[in-house]
Structure 1
Amino acid sequence: MKTKNLIGLDVEKSKQLVEHLNDLLANYQLYYQNVRGFHWNVKGRGFFQLHAKFEEYYNDAIEKIDEIAERVLTLEGTPLHAYSAYMKVAEIKEVTGVSNGLECVKHIMDSLVILIRKEREILALAAEAGDDGTQDMINPYISEQEKTLWMLRAFLSE
């Protein structure tokens, strides 16, 4: 029985990482779609600033989605790729009918808290598996999102 995968990681630990990465992927997909909807539908004071910022956030998310899926493949797994699967797995839920900018920001902050928690879990698993590649991918995500949370919190404190 094969104990190491092609990149030299324990097969069972890699399977566990794939499961967690697929969970993260599903959550990112819901986050992406929510932020995309906020971008399209935001109204009122701060429209121009928030419209542009939300576009920045969903463009960043789509890049991360691709990286996460490719990491799943690198670990010899299969990335989730159906919205029905994302909806079953994701902790982040779809948000509809929101156009108030401050409410949109609060939803984004709630989602980032979930993403960071999941990324920290993946970091711990990756460290245990000796998976430097996954750690190198996830660490910058956390740093960026922590800074984004700080900035959004400052924005809401106006």
Structure 2
Amino acid sequence: MKLNSIGLNADKSKELSNDLNTLLANFQRYYQNLRGIHWNVKGKGFFDLHVKFEELYTDANAKVDMIAERVLTLGGIPQHTFEDYIANSKVPVGKNVSKDEEAIRLIVDSLKELLIIERRILNASDEANDEGTNAMMSDFITEQEKTVWMMKAWLAEEI
């Protein structure tokens, strides 16, 4: 078994960097959705939602950077073109979303897709003994599950 420079199985690290690139593509679409709803939201909840959406897109932007840097740490090359993002993402596109409820549903639906990918990476990173990726996924999952709960509470819906 060939080890990379951080002591992990090189083949498993390559697979993980590919999975992380998929996550990166999906996070980029999520980030763009958040920017769009931040700009376009209208209605009586504008002031609160405008601030909340900025908080979420700032956090998503930081996570994009963390994911890309983890890809590099594992020896991969982070995707960085819109073409790659479009081809490799399942997060729904939120075009011209201005209604508060539609915006919140877009966030919930997007986070669901991200959580599916993150859980897959969490399991793979555990099997690869990759604590760095594992810890990052665990932190992302914990934060996003709480965000989903809060958004569902705003919608007055059960988890």
TM-score (norm 2): 0.96
Which contiguous aligned blocks of 4+ residues in structure 1 show a shift greater than 2 angstroms? none
The residue identity in structure 2 corresponding to 1:25 is L
Alpha-carbon offset, residue 149 of structure 1 = 0.6
For residues 36-79 of structure 1, give each alpha carbon's deviation from its aligned partner in whole angstroms, at most 9, with x where no partner exists. Answer: 00000000120001100000000000000000000000000000
With 28-37 and 84-93 compared, the bigger mean Cα shift is at: 84-93
Whole-Å separation in 2 of the counterparts to 1:86 and 1:123: 21
Distance 2:10 2:2 in 1: 5
Give the counterpart letter for 2:127 in structure 1: E
Q: 2:106: which partner in 1?
A: 107
Aligned partners of 1:154, 1:122: CA distance in 2, in Å?
28
Moved more, 24-33 or 94-103: 94-103
The Cα of 1:93 is off from its aligned counterpart by 3.3
Aligned length: 157
Report matched runs for 1:20-99 at 5 Å.
Answer: 20-99=19-98
Q: Whole-Å Cα distance in 1 between the matches of residues 151 and 44 of structure 2?
A: 16
* Cα separation, 1, equivalents of 2:136 and 2:97: 32
5+ long unaligned stretches in structure 2: none
TM-score normalized with structure 1 length? 0.97
Does 1:134 pair with 2:133?
Answer: yes
What CA distance in whole angstroms lies between the structure 1 residues aligned with 2:69 and 2:20?
10
Range that drifts further, 96-105 or 2-11: 2-11
C-alpha displacement of 1:83: 0.8
Q: Distance in 2 between matches of 1:92 and 1:145?
A: 14
Coordinate RMSD, CA, aligned: 1.1
Query: Sequence identity of aligned pairs in percent?
Result: 52
On the 8 A contact 1:87/1:93 being kept in 2, the answer is: no
Aligned to 1:10: 9
Alpha-carbon distance in 1 for matches of 2:96, 2:39: 11
Q: Is the partner of 1:80 in helix, strand or coil?
A: coil
